[in-house]
Structure 1
């Protein structure tokens, strides 16, 4: 029970990586607040699974692109669950599109959700942690895309690099408050974001062939790394980035 007695906040937790981490945190003893945008049914079922584990849970609706959503989410978690000890900034989008004809609206929306949303969520959570006076942990779900390019991700990869950089700078700014700031860099994880792209079986097989562990990831693969960074097992880890990609990044030859 590595997270017993703590309150963990997870954005974009109605499905995919966020949902898996939220439920995984509850399995390790945490009460959990989740944020969701347009999947009310998924949020409701996530809360039900957390409660079935004997933990408290709340779901707070809001678009992370709006800075006010962060304040509301953090305030509700503190009020209803008693504290804010860990924030996992997970909410993100990746509408694949070519570079030369990228619509301004697509670029702007991706920046606002992925990078601006992560920034304001981390800021709001950190302010609450400072008020509480006992430290905490911020975890940004960055991506292997922070380190490598993608032809149809020119709007997306900069946001993930930005989250990684944000955690490095926040680690310096918040270390005096005992708030640890780290990022997780997943490789290709099967989620709703990429399900259409991965429907191409030949492409999927090529991708799996490049991964030393021989398979694409699933959301549950992110739980252990997230729990580690949230727990006291990582009490001297801050400003770090942990790749969770089956070895894809190192397989260059």
Structure 2
């Protein structure tokens, strides 16, 4: 187990990719802090999955779009486990709208959760590493849309593009502290956020036809990439995006 003795915090771990990441890191030996907006049934289910693997865990609720909540989550996690070694910024939302119809409320929601949240959770995480003189790992769950335009989702693309540059900047700034910073960029993954696509056979078939591996990804595909970046195997990897998309980016366009 590559992460024995480590403590990992996964934001948005109540379902989908976040739950898969929490489970995989637990399989690798890490104790897991399950962060979600609420201490809900879904968050508790993730916790049970972690504990069933013989690992310690805790649910710590907080709205990642609020810097005060971000600081609380880190402080509560350190209080509970003594330290946090791995941060996975997974929490994310999207809102579809024609550009001229995007509301300020929806824009703020997307940018606050996807970018501001990752920024301030990471800041609080890095402070506790610095104060304890410990190395660490920051892994952001970005998207192929940090590179690929996605009409009608401009705020989402802006948040993921911003996440890419934040990652590259922090990788340089934090390297002297022994902290690596990387992104994982999923393509089309079978998660609740894609429920309408999964329920439309025509759209699903068309999308599969654009993916060289001819299938959508599983949450576990993303979790495996995170486990690698969290481990000592990736100790010399920082400032980069690991794309997990079945080859979708090679020649894809939204038509």
Deviation at 1:250, TM superposition (A): 1.2
1:252 Cα offset (Å): 4.7
SS at match of 1:249: helix
Once the two structures are superposed, the pairs formed by residues 130-141 of structure 1 within 5 Å of their partners are 130-141=130-141
CA-atom RMSD in angstroms: 1.2
CA contact (8 A) 1:212 1:248 kept: yes
Matched, 1:177 2:177: yes
Q: Contact 2:39–2:59 (CA<8 Å) still a contact in 1?
A: no
Whole-angstrom CA distance in 1 between matches of 2:252 and 2:155? 24
Residues matched between the structures, number: 253
Contact between 2:39 and 2:60, CA under 8 Å: does it hold in 1?
no
Counterpart for residue 9 of structure 2: 9
Deviations 1:175-232 (A, max 9, x none): 1100000000000112222212432221111111111111011211111100010010
CA distance in 1, matches of 2:48, 2:84: 21
* Cα separation, 2, equivalents of 1:199 and 1:147: 27
Kindly indicate which of the two structures has a greater share of residues assigned to helix.
2
> Which residue in 1 is equivalent to 2:29?
29
Q: CA deviation at 1:164?
A: 1.2
Runs of 4 or more above 6 Å deviation: none
The separation in 2 between residues aligned to 1:66 and 1:227, in whole angstroms, is 27
Conserved in 2, the CA contact under 8 Å of 1:212 and 1:251?
no
Q: Contact 1:4 / 1:29 at 8 angstroms: preserved in 2?
A: yes
TM-score, structure 2 length as denominator?
A: 0.96
Q: Give the corresponding residue for 1:56.
A: 56
- Output the TM-score relative to the length of structure 1: 0.97
Identify unmatched segments of 5+ residues in structure 2: none
Determine if contact 2:5/2:31 at 8 Å carries over to the other structure. yes
**Structure 1: 5+ residue stretches without partners:** none
